[in-house]
Structure 1
Amino acid sequence: MASGARGGRVRNGAFGRRDAGFRKRVGARACLIDRVTGHSQATGIGAARLRPARTRGEDFWVDRRELLGSVLIFSSLREKELDLLLQATTIKRLKPKDVLCRKGDPGNQLYGVLSGSLKVTTTGTDGKDVMFGLMGPGEVIGEIAILDGEERSATVTALESTELLTLHRRELTPFLETNPRAAIGLAGVLAARVRQLSDRAEDRQTMPLPGRLAKRLLSLAEQFGERPIVDGPVEIRMPQQDLADLVGTTRESVNKQLRAWEQEGIVELGRSRVVLKQPESLEAVMATYEL
């Protein structure tokens, strides 16, 4: 990205409001993760480690309880209920490209994303992987298989260093049976997933590519965007093929539209990245096609 580019955030637009809240949540969660896992930037330790059991005092459990409560399906639980679950949780860490689970694997565990990001893929008719979803902090993975006990319906792979809370089905199922708030939370996750899939299917049928692509870029910027320069443009790191999979078109079509927006100064393209220089223009494109 050009060093002098300063697109800035949209002060009065929806993206600007969402962006501020997103950054605040991510920052708070990062601090919690560091305290819970014992991660030390000062010593240059690359992989976070759990503190030894003998150091697990009240602060440890308070921090870990907050992390568990940040996962959507457990956000309405009381402290005592969260503490019950904490006894059964473990923290799983993945490096970039590590596979969390593969399609067809037994669905015995539920995962709550604490940090990082993962892609959800399936195999297309041509035998190649097709990405149809991204998961970030606070989201849940494995909610379908954990309920019906069937095989995993997709492959999930870490895109970056990622940490997850893990709950096994044998502990979670009886907990759901005796804690209606958690069961309702899980039902809410399933409902949101169905609504999301329905919205995407509707978009593919009724919204032209420019609208779908603008909508997806804004969503990705909110969830996974980075801002290398303070108050500068938001950068999304993603290959154009993955972006094409998410909006339901070809890489060539996505590239053509992005090049057109680059000529207008709306975005800037690089190797496996898109910089949103004028997110307000993308909001205008999306609004045009949503009317």
Structure 2
Amino acid sequence: MIESYRAALLAGHWFSALPAALQDALLADAQVQRLAAGQPLFRRGDPPSGLYALVEGALRIGAVNANGKEALLSLIEPPSWFGEVSLFDGQPRTHDAFAECPCTLLLVPQARLLALLQRQPQHWRDFALLMSQKLRLTFTALEEMSLLPAAPRLARRLLLIAENYGEGEPRRVLHLAQEQLALMLALSRQTTNQLLKELEAQGIVRLNYGEIELLDLPRLRRAAR
């Protein structure tokens, strides 16, 4: 059954670039896990459980403070691998992960991963590449938050989500509510709606309920400059 997810995982840049033997080892050790909409996968402070691959659905990664205010870092879709930070340091989870809709994941347990890496330490670099890609995206997002006006920042985030944070080819339809996009960008719902309406008026996007359709990627890239 797990083998049936191989084709979907190979659509992702990280997994497809792995040595075939490591691909086989990850799938051999993986367990299927399913979540209902709204169900937590893990919460900040939970002990490390291993490395996850999202193969169906969408996950919300973020945090909620004591007053109930949410910080939404990303909304990830297949084929995304995550959870590697705790693989390196063995420390608790840094953020919350909730199912945005019904999800199917593969979990490679922490103990099996560590045993694999003890036998074949050369593969540490493969997992370091997964983490370094996300660090680069994080540094870029922090820079944009400080230096860019809201409009190009929003356009850049739409492109980033469309490319699944560097993991896949651009998608035309983003299953993303405007409230979620506003949280990611630390903008008000009103400002986000206004910027999206301006893009829609230019024929760059089309807004639907819970969706943003990208109609003109070249012009969206120009808007992101």
Q: TM-score range by the shorter chain?
A: 0.7 to 0.9
The CA distance in 2 between the partners of 1:265 and 1:67, in whole Å, is 32
Question: Paired residue for 1:78?
Answer: 20
Please list the CA deviations of residues 17-69 of structure 1 after superposition, one character each: whole Å capped at 9, or x if unmatched.
Answer: xxxxxxxxxxxxxxxxxxx36xxxxxxxxxxxxxxxxxxxxxxx5x5666666
Query: Does residue 107 of structure 1 match 2:107?
Result: no
Query: Does residue 177 of structure 1 match 2:118?
Result: yes
Question: Paired residue for 2:99?
Answer: 158
Question: Paired residue for 1:98?
Answer: 39
Contact 2:5–2:55 (8 Å) recurs in 1: no
**Rg larger in structure:** 1
**Gaps in structure 1 of 5+ consecutive residues:** 1-35, 38-60, 225-232
Residues 240 and 65 from structure 1, CA distance in 2 versus in 1: closer, same or farther, beyond 3 angstroms?
closer
Shift of 1:155: 0.9
RMSD across aligned positions (CA): 2.7
User: Pick from 132, 156, 165: which aligns with 2:73?
Assistant: 132
- Larger strand fraction of residues: 2
Question: Paired residue for 2:168?
Answer: none
Shift of 1:285: 1.0
Question: Paired residue for 2:82?
Answer: 141
The CA distance in 2 between the partners of 1:262 and 1:131, in whole Å, is 24
Shift of 1:236: 2.3
Question: Paired residue for 2:154?
Answer: 213
Question: Paired residue for 2:188?
Answer: 250
The CA distance in 2 between the partners of 1:125 and 1:266, in whole Å, is 39
Which amino acid letter does the alignment assign opposite residue 159 of structure 1?
Answer: E
The CA distance in 2 between the partners of 1:270 and 1:87, in whole Å, is 40
Q: How many residues align?
A: 219
Contact 2:48–2:91 (8 Å) recurs in 1: yes
Which amino acid letter does the alignment assign opposite residue 206 of structure 1?
Answer: L
Alignment of 1:222-233 (within 5 A): 222-223=163-164
Residues 194 and 163 from structure 1, CA distance in 2 versus in 1: closer, same or farther, beyond 3 angstroms?
same
The two structures have a TM-score, normalised by structure 2, of: 0.83
Shift of 1:143: 1.0
Please list the CA deviations of residues 57-113 of structure 1 after superposition, one character each: whole Å capped at 9, or x if unmatched.
Answer: xxxx5x56666666736842333x444444422111223222211112111222112
Contact 2:9–2:15 (8 Å) recurs in 1: no
